[in-house]
Structure 1
């Protein structure tokens, strides 16, 4: 079926199209209502070198360039399910990630929590900020690093209010509407095709000639049509004979000749 045929089918079966559009709108609204919005909260932390590893009274922010490897080690440690077990059990519906900040070239950690509850996302970020600092101190304590040489974490940013995410809602509503729309088009094409096929079959049956030899399953109908045509022919001949007899009766008899 090409575009022209499809447009014709939509015009002929407009009632199916209207019903499909109404159902599509209802499905999109239902998906929009059922799917909830999510809230995203983030926090960033910067690694600073220990005071014993830099010159006295020096600015520690000028010596963060060599801490990128330490940041990779900490993010790998924070990615372990065992480390995040307490937070994930407390907030099972939250999506939690701790990675390097892709927008920064320095040793900056990016903590992200996504949840359907803004409050839960905020509390999860608070616990993660504390957990990263605790985990870093445990790693350095295990390695026996002196206190004055230990790396510390400084919180740079932390969201006070979550960012509302509408992506899931939009995807669900759009998918529902598109799905119902496609099904409507298929239904229109199916109904129109069946109706037109039925009409063509009826037209062929009406146009069968009386003398046409047909298949065995249609012989009864065709023979009956031939018989009806023969009866019509006999009736026409009988009517013609009756008309001729009536005309003969109306003609006057010739007068007798006088000798």
Structure 2
């Protein structure tokens, strides 16, 4: 019932609805300006087997099988708090995420860095890429693996630099516009109700005044009729 009444109110005050829709554009632009874009950049590290496996003239890419478990272990180590604290000394802002590349069976580690600025995202990515080999060497050394037998990493850049991610901005703008329209429509419905109440009250007062003015006339006519009968 209330929704139907609200629809009737919006139809009656269509000019206010047009004004609210026009202001919605301004609200959306204001929300876009208030939320800064997020910049994201990625890179990949492929795990390369040691020369003790490939030989002096062997092709390391022919021996990538079986390194998938090493990718998972390395990703967990790089995402650990201790590694994050170490990287934060170089890149003071931004966030990063390291995971195995699920789109391929090759032992590839995907690094994704994000920040509120393009320079910050690139700085974070460079810091993580520089720290990963150190973490990997430390992991293997803790198991007693000699340096010439350790698995190494090779960077494979996957994009041309940080790019702006505007999903959060657009989502915020859409939310702000929807909330504004909802509040505006409710306000228009309330205003319409107030105006209708005032109109009905004035009509009722005018009707009462008319009845009050007609009552003496009817009484006078009745008295004259009584006097004539006498």
Structure 1 residues 19 and 74: CA distance shift in structure 2, 3 A: same
Name 1:220's counterpart in structure 2: none
Contact 2:91–2:127 (8 Å) recurs in 1: no
Once the two structures are overlaid, the 10-residue window that deviates more, 141-150 or 50-59, is: 50-59
Once the two structures are overlaid, the 10-residue window that deviates more, 74-83 or 152-161, is: 152-161
CA RMSD after TM alignment: 3.1
CA deviation string 1:127-169 (max 9, x = no partner): 1111001111111122221222110101112544211211122
Q: Distance in 2 between matches of 1:99 and 1:14?
A: 54
Once the two structures are overlaid, the 10-residue window that deviates more, 6-15 or 228-237, is: 228-237
Any residues of structure 2 matched to 1:100-249 within 5 Å, and which?
100-197=100-197, 199-200=199-200, 231-240=216-225
Report the Cα offset of residue 54 of structure 1: 3.6
Report the Cα offset of residue 237 of structure 1: 3.6
Normalising by structure 2, report the TM-score: 0.84
Name 2:20's counterpart in structure 1: 20
SS at match of 2:119: helix
Normalising by structure 1, report the TM-score: 0.76
Contact 1:122–1:160 (8 Å) recurs in 2: no
Q: In structure 2, list runs of 5 or more residues that go unmatched.
A: none
Contact 1:79–1:97 (8 Å) recurs in 2: yes
Name 2:48's counterpart in structure 1: 48
Report the Cα offset of residue 191 of structure 1: 2.4
Q: Distance in 2 between matches of 1:104 and 1:68?
A: 10
Larger radius of gyration: 1
Aligned pair count? 230
Q: Distance in 2 between matches of 1:18 and 1:227?
A: 43
Structure 1 residues 86 and 146: CA distance shift in structure 2, 3 A: closer
Structure 1 residues 118 and 5: CA distance shift in structure 2, 3 A: same
Q: Distance in 2 between matches of 1:196 and 1:139?
A: 77
SS at match of 1:82: helix
SS at match of 1:103: coil
Q: In structure 1, list runs of 5 or more residues that go unmatched.
A: 209-223, 246-259
Structure 1 residues 227 and 142: CA distance shift in structure 2, 3 A: closer
Q: Distance in 2 between matches of 1:152 and 1:227?
A: 102
CA deviation string 1:180-221 (max 9, x = no partner): 01111212222223443555566667778xxxxxxxxxxxxx
